[in-house]
Amino acid sequence: MTFAGIDAEAGDDVPGLGACVGYIRDLAKPSAVDLLRDAARTGRPVLQPRCGVGGHEAMKRLLIELEEQAAPDLLTLTIDSHTRLRRFGEAQRILASDPARLNGYPLVSHGWRRGRELNAAVRAPLQVRHGSPDARELFVTAIASGITSFEGGGISYNLPYVKDVPLGESLRAWREIDRACGVLAGHGVVVERELFGTLTAVLMPPSISLAVSILEAVAAAGEGVTALTIAYPQGGNAVQDVAALRAVKVLAGRYVGDRAAVFPALHQFMGAFPRDLAKADALILFGGMVATWGRAAKVVVKTHREAFGIPDLAANVRGLRTTRVAVSGYLGAGFGVDEDAVAEETRWICQEVVELVEPVLQGDDLLSGIEKAFVAGRLDVPFSASVHAHNAVLPRRDATGAIRYADPGGLPFSATTRRRNDDLLAASPGHGVMNPAGLIEAIRADVEHFAT
């Protein structure tokens, strides 16, 4: 089928563009972008849990109960792995036999009518979160369901998730999605596109996260996307995390301009969580406070059960309530972060991002420029699952817990940037260790920074 310029294999019964636009316009609820604009104006970020199960009735019940018990501003349909990889037949087979085996909701298999049923069951808008390098069928089904918040991008939903999908393929597939968003915008329907700067979420240097998102944002805005969320993963050092969130506005102003509204979002810590529930709750509270200090428009919420497996309803409710306290102003405004240190760190993060993206943006074709940069190692994602990333970047924590570059690999950083990273790492535990066993142990300690 063809929908708003997308050539998709599935969903032949999906309504046409006009019918989808009419349905979305008639929805009696705010959109995700409405909420983000309010958050940017008031300073009170949108709260969103992650959730997704295979069965339709179980998914509907989970959404309703989350809304009844915790009142999240935005709700999630997390999509299963088979749908992410376009294995629609396999998703359908498991759905028919044992839906509980699916690690998310197979929206394409359930179809847009059931998607609309979920949308109608709750007051909050829905966002589709997934991890697909080619999400065209999923996007069409989401729009037909009335869901106008859709996460992903050609880099961020490829390199962290799959082993061998060429970047050119994923970039072109996501270009079709972004182009469809431009068509929808022309009909008065704004699709909020969130860019997954979290990437692998393992010791992710802020400048890699933001550089990838900025490149995806420029590509999306060039196709007509008018609302973008740049998501950043909490690293654990408050000054660095606040600086990275504030850098989003600076960089968006420089590279996106007025072509699209851009909102910063924080993913609460996605690394190894402490098993002690009190410490886990404290880490979640800390994430909410960092989001407020960094002026994030949204917080994607974690739970105190992260160290034990998939969180249940009660854990999600508790995570949302804990985060709501952090962002509510209940704790007062008498403390925060060193603003001078934040300003300095913001300046350096922006400088690193500029050094990464400027060579790519100077080419004639952005998508081919991105491909070439990854082939050459001038762009890279540490701890990537993909053969199309060099994995040559070695991040480490400095003595304050901030994430730096122990080895930038082939990233085109200036001598000044390299020297600053070296200087900041000089006092870190295990700095200068050359033997592999010692280095692995030092990196493991950095990864498990909060786990003990």
Contact present, 151 and 23 (Cβ < 8 Å) = no
For residue 175, indicate whether it is catalytic: no
What separation, in Å, do the N-terminal and C-terminal C-alpha atoms of the chain show? 52
C-alpha span between 319 and 316 (Å, rounded) = 5
Write the CB contacts of 269 (distance below 8 Å, at least 6 apart in sequence): 233, 234, 235, 236, 283, 287, 302, 450
**Which secondary-structure segment (H or E) carries 285?**
helix 277-293
In a 3-state reduction of DSSP, which class is residue 261? Answer: strand
Residue 445 bridge partners (DSSP): none
Question: Residues 137, 151, 216, 355: which is the catalytic one?
Answer: 151
C-alpha span between 251 and 142 (Å, rounded) = 30
C-alpha span between 174 and 99 (Å, rounded) = 28
Write the CB contacts of 85 (distance below 8 Å, at least 6 apart in sequence): 132, 162
Q: Amino acid identity, residue 133? A: P
Strands 46-49 and 75-78: unpaired
Strands (E), 86-203: 126-129, 149-151, 192-195
- Tell me how far CA of residue 143 lies from CA of 80, 91, 138, in angstroms: 18, 20, 9
CA atoms within 13 A on the CB side of 395: 24
Residue 266 bridge partners (DSSP): 232, 299
For residue 339, indicate whether it is catalytic: no
C-alpha span between 181 and 143 (Å, rounded) = 10
- The tokens describing 181, both together, are 């968003």
Contact present, 130 and 138 (Cβ < 8 Å) = yes
User: What would the DSSP string read from start to end of 346-409?
Assistant: HHHHHHHHHHHHHHHHTSS-HHHHHHHHHHHTSS--TT-S-TTS----EEEE-TTS-EEEEE-T
Kindly report each contact of residues 422-427 with a partner whose C-beta sits within 8 Å and lies 24 or more positions away, as own/partner: 424/398, 425/396, 425/398, 427/398, 427/399
Residue 233 bridge partners (DSSP): 267
Catalytic sites, residue numbers: 84, 151
